[in-house]
């Protein structure tokens, strides 16, 4: 008897300096697809300063907070809901460590090792736990009902009854 392993959701943010670099953005999107992720939702947004402050509130007392908020509100970011088995761990493995200067040496093939510029401009963000993923998904996709997705759509994504729409960079359930 085969055990059914449910998919997991995670939030990914592709940061403003990457969006300005079409080559880097294309490379990161290829990494996402080559690593068996499906894109459940995709949105390009300009994060307001207030939203950046709210999203990164847990870091408000840290020395880098103002620099991070300023950077994240400096231009458009791509925000994705990604799914696959063990999505959170896999996405964070692909990202590599946060500290870019160390990551360039220790994980040069990671997303941050290849496309990160500094600890703030480290190319991308990924949720660190299922609880954080749920909170972050609700923050950026308030109309997305996670429970309903697991009830209605998860099995369709799990059995790959989806079609990839390259133009939208999104997987859609096939009819």
Residue ranges of the binding site:
15, 64, 92, 98, 112, 122
Cα-based distances in Å from 32 to 2, 52, 79, 93, 99: 27, 24, 13, 12, 21
Q: Which of 17, 107, 125, 171 is catalytic?
A: 125
Q: Give CA–CA dist 66/59, Å, rounded.
A: 9
Helices (H) and strands (E) in the chain, counts: 10, 6
User: How far, in Å, CA of 53 to CA of 65, rounded?
Assistant: 8
- 105: phi > 0 → left, psi -120 to 50 → alpha, else beta; which? alpha
Residue 171 annotated to the active site: no
Rounded distance, CA 115 to CA 87, Å?
21
Please give the Cα distance from 40 to 164 (Å, whole number): 10
- Going by the annotation, the residues of the binding site for ATP are 15, 64, 92, 98, 112, 122
Q: Which residues are catalytic?
A: 125
């Amino acid at each position: 008897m085969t055990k059914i392993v449910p998919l997991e959701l995670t939030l990914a943010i592709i940061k403003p300096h990457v969006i300005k670099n079409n080559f880097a953005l294309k490379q990161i999107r290829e990494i996402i697809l080559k690593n068996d992720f499906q894109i459940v939702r995709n949105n390009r947004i300009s994060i307001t300063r207030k939203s950046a402050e709210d999203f990164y509130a847990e870091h408000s007392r840290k020395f880098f907070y103002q620099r991070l908020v300023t950077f994240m509100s400096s231009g458009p970011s791509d925000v994705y809901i990604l799914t696959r088995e063990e999505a959170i761990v896999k996405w964070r493995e692909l990202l590599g460590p946060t500290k870019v200067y160390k990551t360039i040496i220790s994980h040069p093939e990671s997303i941050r090792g290849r496309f990160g510029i500094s600890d703030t401009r480290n190319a991308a963000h990924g949720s660190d736990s299922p609880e954080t993923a749920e909170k972050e998904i609700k923050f950026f996709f308030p109309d997305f009902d996670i429970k309903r997705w697991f009830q209605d759509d998860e099995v369709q994504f799990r059995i790959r009854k989806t079609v990839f729409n390259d133009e939208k960079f999104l997987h859609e359930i096939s009819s």
